[in-house]
Structure 1
Amino acid sequence: MASINALLLALAFLLFVSVLASTLSARLGLPLLLLFLVVGMLAGEEGPGGIRFDDLETAMLIGQLALAVILLDGGLRTRVSTFRVAFAPAAILATWGVVATVLLLGGFAIWLFEVDWRVGLLLAAIVGSTDAAAVFSLLRNSGVRLNDRVKATLEIESGANDPMAILLVTVMIQTLMAPGDTDVWSVLRMLLQQFALGLIAGTLGGWVLTRLLSRLRLAEGLYALLIMSGGLMIFAATNALGGSGFLAIYLAGLVVGNRRSHATEHVLRVMDGLAWLAQAGMFLTLGLLVAPSQLVEHAPLSLAMAGFLMFVARPLAVMSCLFMFRFSLRELVYISWVGLRGAVPIVLAIYPLIMDVPNSSLLFVVAFAVVLVSLLVQGATVPVAARALGVVVPPRDEPVDRIEVWVDDHATLDLMEYHVGRRSRAEGMHPDELTRTEAIVGVRCAAVLRNGRLVPLDDTVTLEEGDAVWLIAPDGMAEPLAAAFAAGRDDELSINAGFFGEFTVDPDCPAGDLAAAYGLQLRPDEETLTIRMLIRQRLGRHAVEGDRVRINAFELTVRHTDSHGEIDQVGLKCPRVL
């Protein structure tokens, strides 16, 4: 009993310290996942903690379960509309992109480590795929808003490239341990089986879970447990059948998350905490497996491996995959840079250890070092690189807090909190006056807090700077309301106006009329097009928010797209007059 209590105390203490240290991680600009790894290493046998942990099978189990939960949470938060923008490029990155990375990196590893070609390719296969845990976490907590094309490509790639990485690792291990049992046809059959079963099981399983959510009435906290347990069943069953459980559970989450129901809000709130717990537990456990002295011993070669991956193999693989999709050079560079490695390479590196593959200890240490370098260098620069490369768009006007209230199976209301900004349109107004504008309808004020106290909602109350206002509104009112509460700026353009342009034009307006009004030069075949058609024709790809088309000294910028991906707002930026 005493040993069980000691184990629980140690695990709880590690998690507690890691969470508290997250404030330091934020101040230093370091990824929280890196902190969990470092805490695990310090708690290990060679650190102050002195914990001896070498149970590879337990570590593998924890890693697989945690990755499954993280992928489920990622699928729940991914909108199907992003697949219209990035499915094709992400799919190629998740397949050929992994193969290209492994071939390039494998050749370098064979030369660098002077090992058998199979060992070099196995090492490359272990670190060849991006990590869903790292990508989802760092992109969604980076503090910047990426354009949809870049964000969707990175997230879908990381959620779908695990089958290819697992296949390559399995094939290379078989080639090392039983060379005669591996041929091209068996590899292709295994690849097809992984993707096909993962696709079918994930889609059907997600549909079943969606039907259950719409029919069952449970306690709020049980909805997330239902989804998590159902997702893990899909994951395990798909793996047992020889398919990709990781792909299946990601797709199951995608199906459930895009079929909104009365339980959606409860599921997302609880799953957020479960995903963080999974990430923390997984990285702490994996950190316990490695000894710092081993990292120091192989540091020069590991740094060379990580550098070649970040600056040569990943960029060349990305260029070979995306050159046909007309990504801008800035987007290609950013996608290349955010090829984050995380828990997946470490979990894959455990396979050779369990199977006693030659040089397996070296493979594990180098993979661990590559992950550390990736999180430290690439992970810490995710927001800086996004701003430097110009792939960010201004943050949407959003409420401070938002609670979705289901009043029926097909009807919802939003309870939203806003703060009155200085010189905003809302300042000096009675709360009910907000409903009298053309853009804002069906809104009711539930409460006004001033200095932490409720303000009586009588006819004399007016909103003041700093007031917290709670409003009940139908779906779709969040952004118009946020614009009414946003602080005004008298001396310069707002961030949105500076990015999108001072004027908004109708995308259905004929481009020829706009050209005539501003003296713009268009090609003859463009004058009969609408502005929406003109933008799409010049871009030559699916338009997303933030895409720009330059006409003489003027710029047309996509301000917003609807749920079908069609342009419904366009900004016009005029040249500055000196």
Structure 2
Amino acid sequence: MITAENILLVGSILIFTSILISKTGYRFGIPTLLLFLLVGMAFGSDGLGIQFNSASDAQFIGMMALSIILFSGGMDTRYADIKPVLKQGILLSTVGVLVTTLLTGLFIFFLSHYTHANIELTLMVSLLLAATMSSTDSASVFSLLRSQRMNLKYNLRPMLELESGSNDPMAYMLTIVLIQVIGSGSNFDVTVILKDLFIQFLFGGVIGYAFGKFAVWLVNKIELSNSALYPILLLSLVFITFTLTDLVKGNGYLAVYIAGMIVGNARLAYRKETNTFMNGLTWLFQIIMFLTLGLLVNPHEMLDISVTALLIGVFMILIARPVSVFLCLLPFKGITNKARVFISWVGLRGAVPIIFATYPVIAQIPGSNQLFNIVFFITLLSLTIQGMTISKMARWLKLDLPEEKEGNEFGVELPEEIDTHLDDITLTEDMLSTGNRLADMNIPKGTLVMLIKRGNEFIIPNGQIELHAGDKLLVMSEKK
């Protein structure tokens, strides 16, 4: 029976199971988000029998989740990191998406009309199928690069995150326009598409920037009774930004990503509370989104299109994505061929293509259920093949760097308003050669030792305390 209690129970079991399985999967290098999809499929109609077939509900959940994921990803994007790769990222997220759509659409049309593939699609529907899969998935890219703490040469990580965070608008626009063309039976008008794209990007950019600035001003100026309310206030502004942008025909996904970048690069009150809240919420909605999409699919229906979907997926991985990447990066001589190969390999498909594939279903495009199953199969293929080998590919191409240390071992943070930074230092015998007390050490002016950690013991320092090799000092110093 469907009751509120049963929905709460089953939903909690799904989330609980997903988290436990993800812990095991991480050890074997299996992408966490792939496991969430598989859990959803295991509990779905072909598994334990949960019946969920509402594409509109899945689309709504995906819209909320992507708003949070893109805003959170924008908050973690630093201007200084993306400035050197801004042109490359923008080209990949616009021209790259368009080239991928055209190449993949033509290949799908070829399979449909000139081979024995069990699909019969017109050119417009072939392009629509390609458009839904043309962007790299922000949730998958952010999750994989950050969960594996991957540090890469040539500013590749910020370039990939910038591309994945900003290329959804182009794929979304192409999907919507092609649905309109197919639904109305009108001709493919390039000028109309360019006009719509311009409006989408213009309003998305302007509203995202304006609301980002407003959010920073409001959070810093308003005085609330409880610090826990600040991130909730910010979350409400995220959804307002998305919906208002969508109402004026702009692109809400672009708007929330830009708003996140504005907020993330400004001085913000209660940043620690906000980051903790947004990180937790991002993970929760990623789990819910992938579980929902896993429940939505009927795995047995993918068997009929598996060979065709495999051919399309392999074509995208080995031809369409590399061609679009090499073409977009052609003007940039400083990017090595190894870097271009790696960027091509990180063309991950994930939740975004599946969510975009629900639009033809809701619009009742002929054969839309078959399109949805093809997109889902290719997403599984991409997360399995590419998602499980990203770190290995980086090492094979010799593009990986030593992992950067984040924070300090003491877990202490200072408010942004204090113009200082914290470091931790591990003492060696050489450091203690002039004496084993703080008073004997040559500590630079403007530096303060705040805490000493010896094993599991924390010691409040004074000038006369004896220090040992292996002690860790928490040091506060002025920013230069």
TM-score by length of 2: 0.92
Give the whole-Å Cα distance in 2 for the aligned partners of 1:425 and 1:179.
Answer: 78
Q: What letter matches 1:367 in structure 2?
A: V
Q: CA deviation at 1:304?
A: 1.1
Residue 467 of structure 2 is matched in structure 1 by: 462
Higher-Rg structure is: 1
Give the whole-Å Cα distance in 2 for the aligned partners of 1:424 and 1:179.
Answer: 79
Residue 81 of structure 2 is matched in structure 1 by: 82
User: Residues 452-507 of structure 1, C-alpha deviation per residue, up to 9 Å, x if partnerless?
Assistant: 23346452421343x4544444447xxxxxxxxxxxxxxxxxxxxxxxxxxxxxxx
Structure with the greater relative contact order (CA < 8 A, sep ≥ 6): 1 or 2?
2
CA RMSD of aligned residues (A): 2.3
Whether the 8 Å contact between 1:428 and 1:464 is mirrored in structure 2 is: no
Asked if 1:360 corresponds to 2:368, the answer is yes
Residue 58 of structure 2 is matched in structure 1 by: 59
Q: What letter matches 2:30 in structure 1?
A: L
Match of 1:383 among 373, 391, 403: 391
- Between 1:83-92 and 1:351-360, the stretch displaced more is 83-92
Give the whole-Å Cα distance in 2 for the aligned partners of 1:431 and 1:245.
Answer: 58
User: Residues 276-320 of structure 1, C-alpha deviation per residue, up to 9 Å, x if partnerless?
Assistant: 111111101111001121223322111111110000000001011
Whether the 8 Å contact between 2:149 and 2:403 is mirrored in structure 1 is: no
- Give unmatched runs, 5+ long, in structure 2: 114-120
Residue 446 of structure 2 is matched in structure 1 by: 442
Residue 20 of structure 1 is matched in structure 2 by: 20
Match of 2:240 among 233, 243, 249: 233
Give the whole-Å Cα distance in 1 for the aligned partners of 2:174 and 2:294.
Answer: 25
- Map 1:450-489 onto structure 2 (within 5 A): 450-455=454-459, 457=461, 459-465=464-470, 467-475=471-479
Identify if the C-alpha distance between structure 1 residues 328 and 357 changes in structure 2 by more than 3 Å, giving closer, same or farther.
Answer: same
Asked if 1:349 corresponds to 2:348, the answer is no
Give the whole-Å Cα distance in 1 for the aligned partners of 2:34 and 2:378.
Answer: 12
Identify if the C-alpha distance between structure 1 residues 286 and 413 changes in structure 2 by more than 3 Å, giving closer, same or farther.
Answer: same
Give the whole-Å Cα distance in 2 for the aligned partners of 1:285 and 1:275.
Answer: 15
- Between 1:37-46 and 1:180-189, the stretch displaced more is 180-189
- Map 1:25-36 onto structure 2 (within 5 A): 25-36=25-36
- Map 1:517-556 onto structure 2 (within 5 A): none
Whether the 8 Å contact between 2:434 and 2:441 is mirrored in structure 1 is: no
- Between 1:188-197 and 1:139-148, the stretch displaced more is 139-148
- Between 1:467-476 and 1:353-362, the stretch displaced more is 467-476
Identify if the C-alpha distance between structure 1 residues 456 and 252 changes in structure 2 by more than 3 Å, giving closer, same or farther.
Answer: closer
User: Residues 138-166 of structure 1, C-alpha deviation per residue, up to 9 Å, x if partnerless?
Assistant: 11122331135211221111111111101
Identify if the C-alpha distance between structure 1 residues 456 and 215 changes in structure 2 by more than 3 Å, giving closer, same or farther.
Answer: closer
Match of 2:301 among 273, 291, 294: 294
Give the whole-Å Cα distance in 2 for the aligned partners of 1:54 and 1:427.
Answer: 71
Give the whole-Å Cα distance in 1 for the aligned partners of 2:289 and 2:208.
Answer: 23
Give the whole-Å Cα distance in 2 for the aligned partners of 1:255 and 1:276.
Answer: 22
Give the whole-Å Cα distance in 1 for the aligned partners of 2:199 and 2:439.
Answer: 60
- Between 1:110-119 and 1:90-99, the stretch displaced more is 110-119
- Between 1:211-220 and 1:265-274, the stretch displaced more is 211-220
Aligned partner of residue 186 in structure 2, secondary structure: helix
Asked if 1:130 corresponds to 2:130, the answer is no
Asked if 1:162 corresponds to 2:168, the answer is yes
- Between 1:320-329 and 1:76-85, the stretch displaced more is 76-85
Q: What letter matches 1:119 in structure 2?
A: V
Q: CA deviation at 1:35?
A: 0.7
- Between 1:420-429 and 1:287-296, the stretch displaced more is 420-429
- Return the structure number with greater strand share: 1
Give the whole-Å Cα distance in 2 for the aligned partners of 1:427 and 1:251.
Answer: 52
Q: Kindly tell me the number of residue pairs found equivalent between the two proteins.
A: 469
Q: CA deviation at 1:167?
A: 1.3
Residue 320 of structure 1 is matched in structure 2 by: 327
Q: CA deviation at 1:238?
A: 0.1
Whether the 8 Å contact between 2:41 and 2:47 is mirrored in structure 1 is: yes
User: Residues 375-422 of structure 1, C-alpha deviation per residue, up to 9 Å, x if partnerless?
Assistant: 11111111111111122222335533554322xx74244455x47377
Q: CA deviation at 1:30?
A: 0.8
Q: CA deviation at 1:58?
A: 1.1
Aligned partner of residue 35 in structure 2, secondary structure: helix
- Give unmatched runs, 5+ long, in structure 1: 477-578
Residue 93 of structure 2 is matched in structure 1 by: 94
Identify if the C-alpha distance between structure 1 residues 94 and 335 changes in structure 2 by more than 3 Å, giving closer, same or farther.
Answer: same
- Between 1:418-427 and 1:274-283, the stretch displaced more is 418-427
Identify if the C-alpha distance between structure 1 residues 108 and 415 changes in structure 2 by more than 3 Å, giving closer, same or farther.
Answer: same
Residue 276 of structure 1 is matched in structure 2 by: 283
Q: What letter matches 2:387 in structure 1?
A: G
Whether the 8 Å contact between 1:33 and 1:134 is mirrored in structure 2 is: yes
Give the whole-Å Cα distance in 1 for the aligned partners of 2:153 and 2:432.
Answer: 30
Q: What letter matches 1:170 in structure 2?
A: I
Whether the 8 Å contact between 2:137 and 2:350 is mirrored in structure 1 is: yes
User: Residues 498-525 of structure 1, C-alpha deviation per residue, up to 9 Å, x if partnerless?
Assistant: xxxxxxxxxxxxxxxxxxxxxxxxxxxx
Whether the 8 Å contact between 2:357 and 2:375 is mirrored in structure 1 is: yes
Identify if the C-alpha distance between structure 1 residues 296 and 420 changes in structure 2 by more than 3 Å, giving closer, same or farther.
Answer: farther
Give the whole-Å Cα distance in 2 for the aligned partners of 1:338 and 1:468.
Answer: 39
Whether the 8 Å contact between 2:321 and 2:347 is mirrored in structure 1 is: yes
Aligned partner of residue 134 in structure 2, secondary structure: coil
Identify if the C-alpha distance between structure 1 residues 18 and 118 changes in structure 2 by more than 3 Å, giving closer, same or farther.
Answer: same
Match of 1:330 among 338, 342, 345: 338
Match of 1:198 among 194, 204, 226: 204
Q: CA deviation at 1:427?
A: 9.9
Q: What letter matches 1:192 in structure 2?
A: F
Q: What letter matches 1:450 in structure 2?
A: R
Q: What letter matches 1:52 in structure 2?
A: Q
Whether the 8 Å contact between 1:82 and 1:148 is mirrored in structure 2 is: no
Q: CA deviation at 1:211?
A: 0.7
Residue 245 of structure 1 is matched in structure 2 by: 252
